[in-house]
Amino acid sequence: MWSYLTRSQAEVIYSPLVRKRIREHDESVLIRGLTGYASSLAAVTGVSDLDLAMLVSRRRVGEYMDATGRDFRDLVLAKRERLV
């Protein structure tokens, strides 16, 4: 039964409208997550202004990328290929 169900779902073709709704939902989930992470980082660093919080976040992400030897643009390109 499980094999039948997984095969049947793999053959479902979504219309462009359905794909758009899925992307919009995914984006709202990402924005909610970003808001949570940014506000937590702001609270930890003593920042309460959104613009300043974004500057702190940018600096911390840059430091993390440098420490791991990764490039943000490469990361985005890899995700774009997978997600879009």
Chain segment 52-83, per-residue pLDDT in tens: 999 999 999 999 999 999 999 999 999 888 87
Residue 31 lies in a domain: yes
Spatial distance between the Cα atoms of 5 and 22, rounded to a whole number of angstroms: 21
- What is the DSSP secondary structure assignment for residue 69, as one 8-state letter? T
Spatial distance between the Cα atoms of 76 and 82, rounded to a whole number of angstroms: 10
Spatial distance between the Cα atoms of 11 and 14, rounded to a whole number of angstroms: 10
Assess whether pLDDT exceeds 90 at residue 18: no
Residue 3 lies in a domain: no
Q: What is the pTM of this model?
A: 0.64
Chain segment 20-36, per-residue pLDDT in tens: 666 667 888 999 999 99
Write out the two tokens for 50: 């959104």
Residue 7 lies in a domain: no
For the chain, the domain total comes to 1
Residue 42 lies in a domain: yes
The chain-wide mean pLDDT, for the chain, equals: 84
Binned at pLDDT 50, 70 and 90, residue 3 comes out as low
